[in-house]
Chains A and B, each alone.
Chain A
Amino acid sequence: MAITQTRPQERPELAPIRTIRDVPVEEFYTSGHRTCQGCHSALLMKYLAKAAGPRTVTIGATGCMYVANTSYYATPWVIPWMHTQLGATGSAVIGAAAGYAVQQRKGKLAEEPINVIGIAGDGGGADMGLSAISAALQHTQYNVLIILYDNESYANTDIQASGSTPWGAVTAFTPSGTVKRITQDRWKKNTPGMLVAGHPEARYIGSASAAFGVDVMNKIRTALRVGGPTYLHVHDACPKGWDFDPRYSRELGQLAVECGIVPLWEVIEGELQYNGITRQIVEGRRKRKPVREYLMRQGRFAHFTEEDVDYFQAKVDEMWEKWILPGVLPVQALPEGLPKPGRRAAGLADGAGAAANGAVAP
């Protein structure tokens, strides 16, 4: 007999949060963590614990959110948290979900929905753990959520470049020198887009920012309600690695969205939705801010020349003007003569879920 978790039916505890007033008061990730001042990854942990509630088990790969939250025999986690190896988030959550399913089938655990949430940073998730996350998203019989907190570097070991580090940023591995100004010459990996394109059976994949708390908490709840293997990519401002005053974490996270560098979207059961500011940009109701406003607020881009800013802007423009799904999927080269699928055709109006059904490539 196959071990299959049933699709979560009614989950009143995961009802959408309409306004900030509805944000639950109880904390399941509390104070006393050893993160930096103004750490938005810690804020994301708080949001995820709040949104998911007490019947939640979290499993975290090595990273800031491992070391800062569990060492010295002390932890701010109220709900269970378990460590797993750097690349293992995907495998660990599937294993845990399967374990709970077996125990419930055998009557050793009460039949109830248990939220199994995997937590990985950009190093642990977008680099090392990518294959296991990809594998997890194929196991449709289990209900798991994998959250990737993307602070754009290996922040736990003092800021080394990852595949998620933006082009040109200074890190411990990519200093700016007099001979070579830009040593981080790789464009940031589009992890959520890649996962959407390749995992048509995952019922929820989303992109969010910790600067938008209500949006993040709703995305977490939606993913848990929808069920199956789900994935949420969250962009988190890192005052230490990005080099800005901690009090501006929200502002920096917001600017990344306003400049169009980080789009907010979700693909729910094959249907693409843009959210918040990103939605306004896509629908032409709002103009993107110049990327300069975001870049020049951070010490990691302090060495940028006009030329560098222009290059960055051009790459972001391309993402909005030439991609098949603005900010989400970059298929550009279509055979001559084929109608270029606009964003409407590709999923906005029809909700055809072209992206999630693997129908994006002609």
Chain B
Amino acid sequence: MASGSVDVTYRGIFQKILAGNIVKTLVKASRHSGKIGGTISRYSDSPERNGIPAKQFAVIAESQDELHVEMAKYEPDNIRLIAALDDTLAKGHESWAWYGIRPIHLGLREGGALLVVSEHERAKLLEFIPRLPFEWRLAILPGEKSFSGLWVYHDDGTEFRVLGAIARLIPEVVGLEELEKEVGKGPKAEQHLDWLRQGYREVQVGTVPAGVGAPNTYEPVKLPEWTEMAEAIIVPAAPRGGRQEAFKKFTTRSERPVIDFDVCTQCKQCFVECPDSVFELTPEGYYNPEYEACCGCGICAEVCPVDDCIVMVDELAFADNRDLYEEWKADRAAYRQFFQGLLERERVTARSSRRKVSA
């Protein structure tokens, strides 16, 4: 028997109901073993925006006092399990201005588990997840990311499969038996119980030794003090010809646009219609995306009149925000190969994972 906090990190709005259902069910299930708990939402920007990295927490305790202590924290720490509902969150999350990009396992305790819903292998995820000074567990629940909208929820099994995986990873906090009791009460209980047990069976767990993973470059950010700010709530304007630097927005995206400059007709449509002003005019007349500003909405790929000129590629196919236009300019043959490789090997989707809105 133990208590602890579970952090569910998800894509704003697209996975809001999913994350909320998971934390609520965890708290309700923990009551079956005599524990109490509460949930915390709205970790991210309020109101929550499409795609922005967000968190909801389930805090489970054995006594009122313990619960109050944990709930009173600004942000739960000493976390037993973090569930990332979209694997591209493995690259870290920037939910507010000034905070910078925070690692996906921020706050995880020694021996804690990071559960990722992913179709990728462990090695691929560890290319992006920073190393820690202690041993921890990386668990993968095989599957596509589940995206839906604000009003229509997709009961596609992810919710219950994640709960099953959590029971496998931290049975001392919430066990499968308690979850079965709770899930068995709801509508469509049989199907949901099936999914719950499936997640319990299918989750792949392994330990990650101290020091294994990507370089950890995270430093807690020093926020500007009121004495450093201008009087009368004056916010400095973005520089003419420049960009706003305190918030980059790119951890909002699950996919990035990649352009085949060989077939680009310089029609300017992507430049004009990008809500985030991502594209920059090159001296040669092309429109080159600044990936640090791109939130991956996919409008450019949609409005581009040329087939397969702008394609949306899984964010995990890239380690950084490097300038692809420069690479194309330097060696067009190599770029052609790279672009073809993306089309063949990577998830280049018309967002099949995301609902194209029901009919």
Contacts and interface: CB of A to CB of B under 8 A. Distances in A.
Binding site of B, secondary structure by majority: helix, strand, loop or mixed?
Answer: loop
Interface in B178-202: none
Interface string B44-62: 0101111110000000000
Interface string A14-51: 00000011010111111111111111101100100000
Given A46-B277, A72-B96, A245-B356, A36 B272 contact: no
B232 to A, nearest CB: 11
Given A20-B267, A32-B245, A78-B239, A27 B277 contact: yes
B302 A247 contact: yes
A9 interface: no
Contact of A244 (B149, B243, B244, B273): B149
Contacts of B268: 20-21, 23
Contacts of B299: 38, 246-247, 249-250
B248 A247 contact: no
A68 to B, nearest CB: 7
Contact of B150 (A30, A43, A75, A241): A241
A97 interface: no
Contacts of B137: none
Contacts of A244: 149, 357
Contacts of B357: 243-245, 248, 296-299
Contact of A300 (B151, B248, B277): B151
B249 A32 contact: yes
A50 to B, nearest CB: 9
B351 A247 contact: yes
A80 B237 contact: yes
B237 A77 contact: yes
B237 A78 contact: yes
Interface string A65-87: 00110111111111110000000
A interface majority secondary structure: loop
Contacts of B303: 250
Contacts of B302: 247-248, 250-251
Contact of B235 (A70, A78, A214, A243): A70
Nearest to A39: B275
Contact of A74 (B242, B247, B358): B247
Nearest to B239: A78
Nearest to A46: B277
Nearest to B48: A158
Interface residues of A, number: 62
A270 B303 CA distance: 35
A278 to B, nearest CB: 20
Contacts of B290: 31
Given A36-B13, A73-B229, A239-B50, A31 B151 contact: no
B23 interface: no
B100 to A, nearest CB: 12
A174 B170 CA distance: 39
Given A46-B275, A213-B272, A247-B351, A74 B235 contact: yes
B97 A170 contact: no
A139 interface: no
B358 to A, nearest CB: 6
Nearest to A249: B299
Interface in A256-270: none
Contacts of B276: 31, 33, 42
A73 B281 contact: no
Which of B96, B274, B299 counts the most chain A CB atoms within 10 A? B299
B351 A75 contact: no
A79 B238 CA distance: 8
A25 B281 contact: yes
Given A32-B293, A78-B238, A157-B47, A299 B150 contact: yes
Q: Most B CB atoms within 10 A — which of A38, A156, A296?
A: A38
B301 interface: yes
Contacts of A25: 271, 281
B150 A159 contact: yes
B266 to A, nearest CB: 10
B86 to A, nearest CB: 13
A334 interface: no
Contacts of B72: none
A240 interface: yes
Given A75-B235, A77-B237, A244-B357, A37 B297 contact: yes
A302 interface: yes
B281 A79 contact: no
Nearest to B266: A21
A72 B359 CA distance: 39
B103 interface: no
A214 to B, nearest CB: 8
B295 interface: yes
A246 B297 contact: yes
A184 to B, nearest CB: 12
Given A240-B150, A245-B351, A247-B298, A34 B97 contact: yes
Nearest to A68: B49
A20 B293 CA distance: 23
Nearest to B350: A247
A162 to B, nearest CB: 15
A300 B357 CA distance: 10
B63 interface: no
B98 interface: yes
A246 B290 CA distance: 19
Contact of B246 (A68, A72, A157): A72
B278 interface: yes
B296 A37 contact: yes
B244 A75 contact: yes
8 contacts: A20-B272, A30-B244, A46-B277, A73-B97, A75-B244, A240-B49, A246-B299, A302-B151
Given A31-B244, A38-B297, A245-B357, 4 more contacts: A32-B293, A72-B97, A73-B224, A158-B47
